[in-house]
């Protein structure tokens, strides 16, 4: 079976660790050019070195604030300068601020909305602009949300900011799936249950997650591939298996 993802280019946000790191490595193994981005340059450099030490890997990285519109402009320009095209966007960057609602600070609330939701709005908008005007074949976007942002699923105390931001990501995905059709842009969302990441362990040390970043990376990769061409505007639950 031919690899239809080979030589395409992906931007992966929050790719210094966790799901983003696992996704970037998985894509590089499929000969996808990967641009890594997060706030922490040391983590990005580690993933960059790991990918490029593999003969199949081809990665670049740029550190910065993914909720900042100027940085996003810089990120997309950087990607085009390195690899010419942008075929995939994986919106994975997120933070987890846990506190009882009445004690949640405005600063933590705003930071959660900025990193978890505003960044996805801005990067999707930029990707739409680029893919519509420069990619005749369109492109694919995968947003990472959470089961905690799904209506009717179990909620946990202290997760108000995280929950609301992830509800927003799911809603954004649904409307972008509709609006992207006319320019051949598919947009889907992955909502994992608890995943064994540094972010979750730091925020909720007592939890014992059964999901791994690598399993979520498999789901994301499937949604990017031609095998999922009939899936658009959907939120995929990714629980432990």
Residues with catalytic roles = 162
> DSSP letters of the chain?
---TTTT-EEEEETTTSHHHHHHHHHHHHTT-EEEEE-S-HHHHHHHHHHHHTSTT--EEE--S-TT-HHHHHHHHHHHHHHHS---EEEE---------GGG--HHHHHHHHIIIIIHHHHHHHHHHHHHHHH-TT-EEEEEE--GGGSTTS---TT-HHHHHHHHHHHHHHHHHHHHHGGGTEEEEEEEESSB--HHHHHH-TT----B-HHHHHHHHHHHHSGGGTT--S-EEEE---
Q: How far is it, in rounded angstroms, from Cα 211 to Cα 239? A: 7
Q: How far is it, in rounded angstroms, from Cα 85 to Cα 173? A: 23
Q: What end-to-end distance do the CA atoms of the chain give, in Å?
A: 26
- Give 102's contacts (C-beta < 8 A, 6+ positions apart): none
């Amino acid at each position: 079976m031919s690899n239809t993802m080979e030589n395409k280019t992906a931007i992966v946000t929050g790719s210094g660790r966790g799901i983003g790191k696992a996704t970037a490595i998985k894509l590089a193994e499929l000969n996808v050019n990967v641009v890594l981005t997060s706030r922490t340059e040391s983590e990005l450099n580690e993933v960059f070195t790991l990918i490029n030490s593999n003969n199949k890997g081809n990665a670049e990285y740029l550190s910065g604030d993914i909720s900042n519109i100027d940085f996003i402009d810089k990120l997309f320009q950087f990607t085009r300068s390195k690899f010419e095209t942008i075929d995939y966007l994986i919106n994975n960057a997120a933070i987890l601020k846990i506190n009882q609602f009445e004690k949640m600070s405005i600063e933590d609330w705003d930071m959660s909305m900025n990193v978890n939701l505003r960044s996805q709005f801005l990067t999707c908008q930029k990707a739409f602009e680029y893919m519509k005007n420069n990619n005749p074949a369109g492109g694919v976007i995968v947003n990472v949300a959470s089961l905690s942002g799904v209506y009717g699923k179990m909620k946990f105390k202290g997760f108000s900011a995280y929950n609301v931001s992830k509800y927003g990501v799911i809603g954004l995905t649904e409307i972008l799936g509709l609006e992207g059709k006319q320019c051949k842009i598919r947009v889907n969302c992955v909502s994992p249950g608890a995943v064994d990441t540094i972010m979750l362990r730091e925020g909720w040390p007592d939890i014992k997650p059964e999901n791994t970043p690598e399993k979520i990376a498999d789901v994301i990769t499937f949604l990017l591939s031609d095998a999922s061409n009939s899936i658009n505007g959907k939120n995929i639950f990714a629980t432990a298996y």
